[in-house]
Structure 1
Amino acid sequence: MSPAALRISDLNDLLRATFLTGKVVFTEGIAALSDDHRSQVVEAVQSFRQFTPDNDPYGEHDFGSIEIDGVGRVFWKIDYYDPDYRYHNENAADPTTTRRVLTIMLAIEY
């Protein structure tokens, strides 16, 4: 794994596990879940560690898919924006110029 990919995966893992270093967005489907189901989704996303070359080919830990009883398949995705959250940012390894957004959605909303 390249040094940049390693740095990106570390930054992505920090956001995913803590929800502290970027924005977290729930889609309407996630927001409409019961508090208990939404808590299960958050716990599953924050504890996700099942990265493989098949589901994480670039080693950036920027996407996951989870099956949750009573909810179904849930996707989460991290995207990279400029400091104003207006445009895509190509330099995801630099936290001083990149803002991360973690979106959590039901797979049927994709």
Structure 2
Amino acid sequence: MTEDEKKARIAELNDELRTHRSQRNGKIIVTGALIEDIHDGARMARILDAIRDFSDFNEDNDPHGEHDYGRVTVDGEEFMFKFDYYALNEEHLSEHPEDPNATIRVMSVLYASDY
């Protein structure tokens, strides 16, 4: 697999988790101050819906073409999502983030101000 093919596969897997909210070896976590708002299911649904619908990937926010980061505004507040890739033991980074059988894909969701 070429580097461009790997990047395209990573973007495809990231989009799958971001838009479908499920994937083998995929997790969505809420971090930072947003944890305090986790009990507001309707608000969390609006945030996740905005992330699902995000499609403004460009050279500025996606320089590697992996769809691994983005920002959305919900209820006047800015949130971000970012992806990290771990080995199956979750102790080290994955050496092959393009391979869903060798990678735990984690999408973190947080207030942009927490980053």
Same fold (TM over 0.5): yes
CA drift of 1:95 comes to 1.2
Is contact 1:31–1:38 with CA below 8 Å preserved after alignment? Answer: no
The answer to whether 1:87 aligns with 2:89 is no
2:43 & 2:74 partners in 1: Cα distance? 9
- Aligned twin of 1:96: 101
2:34 & 2:46 partners in 1: Cα distance? 11
Q: Deviations over 1:41-78 (max 9, x none)?
A: 010111111101111011000000112224x1101001
Is contact 1:6–1:60 with CA below 8 Å preserved after alignment? Answer: yes
Q: Percent identity?
A: 33
- Aligned twin of 1:13: 15
Q: Is there any run of 5+ residues in structure 1 with no aligned partner, and where? A: none
1:40 to 37, 46, 52: 46
The amino acid that maps onto 2:69 is F
- Aligned twin of 2:5: 3
Is contact 1:25–1:101 with CA below 8 Å preserved after alignment? Answer: yes
RMSD: 1.5
Segments of 4+ moved more than 6 angstroms: none
How many residues are treated as equivalent by the alignment? 109
Q: Deviations over 1:69-108 (max 9, x none)?
A: 24x1101001000012111113111111111001000012
The answer to whether 1:60 aligns with 2:66 is yes
Is contact 1:63–1:78 with CA below 8 Å preserved after alignment? Answer: yes
- Determine helix, strand or coil for the equivalent of 1:77: strand
CA drift of 1:35 comes to 2.6
* TM-score in terms of structure 1 length: 0.90
The answer to whether 1:78 aligns with 2:83 is yes
The amino acid that maps onto 2:19 is A
